[in-house]
Amino acid sequence: MAFHIRTDDAEFWVRDGRITFSPQEGAETRSAACAIAGLVDCHAHSTFDLSDRGLAPGSAAVVTANLADYFAAGVTACRDTGGVSMAAVDAHDPRLIAAGRFLAPPGRYITSWTLPTTAAELVDAVGAQVRSGATWVKIVDDWFSPENGRVEQHYEPAVLAAAVDAAHRGGARVAMHCMDTASVEAGLQCGVDSIEHGCNIQPEQIERMAAARVAWCPTVTLVSGFMLGQELPDPQYQERARRFYLEELYALLPLAAARGVTILAGSDTIPPAEFWREIANLHRYGLDAQTALASATSAARAYLGLPDIGEGSPADVVLYDADPRLDPDVLSRPALVMIAGEVLSAR
Ligand SMILES: [Zn+2]
């Protein structure tokens, strides 16, 4: 089966699961306003039961079900930023770029999610993740202390630097969970590849991210809701974080984009069907519509080394009836989803 895809500004063909710009005999034409290679969720947790299906967290089955939900939503690739098991890594799916376990010290962060990892164990744990096939490593560097409720950093700078070095030597990259300025600072000093969340990040830190080519995955939909929607155990922190999400981020996200920081759209634990809201929210926080969309498409693909629409690329194609840059809500209603040349769903 061959397809001829025609949009307002592109034309290409699909045959044998690949994209080609050479016209193909007998191809079935599908017309739409816009075609992309599919959205990329750059901060996903595919070992969680994201859509409350009653599947066991950490199982191979839940990863498979989440990917099916992502595909139906027009999301054709994910970066998994931490699992409750190695199931995302073990899926060996080219559309799932996966970190292994969440690494955090014993008793810190959400203990049912993590691989408890003391400072003395961190470098070896990173090596073990990479040897198991993880192409990213997730380090959780701060969270509310179980003793005093305050957001505290987890690892010393020298330990983090050695851990990042171990990941890089193994060919993997490092994503660091940062809830506060101090952890962003630690991440920058130890050479991480991406800052996750980046709450209370400072303008001067954004300048250094640009210089060092550190990406930022702000996960604004989930984290702004978390900060604004409930009482946190650290009132002083919460006041700062609320100011960050109610005011400062509206200037900082456009600043980061203007300086050339790669901004990545990530859902965190929002169900796959709702991922598109992150793109809408990045736009609401001041990214222009093109940059907001690129954070889940072209910029995300380039950063993660994923194929985009091009000669010989796998035919992952998502069509929309209108331009999502004019109205991000369009992203919630893909007109057609194709994976490797097979139409999964079409309206
Ligand atoms: Zn996360």
Distance in Å, CA 336 to ligand 1 centroid: 29
* Count of domains for the chain: 2
**Domain co-membership, 285 together with 341:** no
Host H or E run for residue 3: strand 3-6
Residue 94: CB atoms within 10 A of its CB come to: 10
Beta bridge partners of 40: 77
Measured CA to CA, the distance from residue 96 to residue 46 in angstroms comes to 9
DSSP per-residue codes, 23-72: --TTPEEEE-SEEES-EEEEEE-TTS-TT---PPTT-HHHHHHHHHHHHH
**Domain co-membership, 97 together with 161:** yes
Distance in Å, CA 268 to ligand 1 centroid: 4
**Domain co-membership, 249 together with 259:** yes
Residue 3: CB atoms within 10 A of its CB come to: 21
- Under DSSP, the state recorded for 321 is S
Distance in Å, CA 311 to ligand 1 centroid: 34
- For residue 134, the model assigns a pLDDT of 98
Q: Which two tokens stand for residue 95?
A: 């559309």
- For residue 268, the model assigns a pLDDT of 97
Classified as helix, coil or strand, 108 is coil
- For residue 347, the model assigns a pLDDT of 75
What averages of pLDDT result for each successive group of 10 residues across the chain (347 residues)?
A: 94 98 96 97 98 97 98 98 98 97 97 97 98 98 96 97 98 98 98 98 98 98 95 95 98 98 97 98 97 98 98 98 94 97 89
Beta bridge partners of 152: 143
**Domain co-membership, 76 together with 17:** no
Distance in Å, CA 270 to ligand 1 centroid: 10
**Domain co-membership, 211 together with 123:** yes
**Domain co-membership, 312 together with 335:** yes
**Domain co-membership, 258 together with 314:** no
**Domain co-membership, 31 together with 43:** no
Distance in Å, CA 340 to ligand 1 centroid: 28
Distance in Å, CA 347 to ligand 1 centroid: 32
Distance in Å, CA 204 to ligand 1 centroid: 25
- For residue 37, the model assigns a pLDDT of 98
Distance in Å, CA 99 to ligand 1 centroid: 11
What's 311's domain CATH number? 2.30.40.10
Distance in Å, CA 143 to ligand 1 centroid: 12
Measured CA to CA, the distance from residue 229 to residue 233 in angstroms comes to 13
Distance in Å, CA 223 to ligand 1 centroid: 10
What's 77's domain CATH number? 3.20.20.140
Distance in Å, CA 170 to ligand 1 centroid: 23
What is the extent of the structural domain holding 315? 1-37+307-347
Distance in Å, CA 18 to ligand 1 centroid: 32
**Domain co-membership, 243 together with 265:** yes
Q: Are 64 and 76 in contact (CB under 8 A)?
A: no
How far CA 55 is from CA of 46, 48, 98, 130, in Å, comes to 12, 9, 20, 27
**Domain co-membership, 135 together with 254:** yes
Residues counted in the chain:
347
How far CA 328 is from CA of 13, 227, 249, 275, 294, in Å, comes to 26, 24, 20, 11, 12
**Domain co-membership, 265 together with 334:** no
DSSP per-residue codes, 73-88: TTEEEEEE--BSSSHH
Distance in Å, CA 217 to ligand 1 centroid: 10
Distance in Å, CA 83 to ligand 1 centroid: 9
**Domain co-membership, 198 together with 330:** no
- For residue 122, the model assigns a pLDDT of 98
Chain centroid offset of residue 170 CA: 21
Distance in Å, CA 44 to ligand 1 centroid: 7
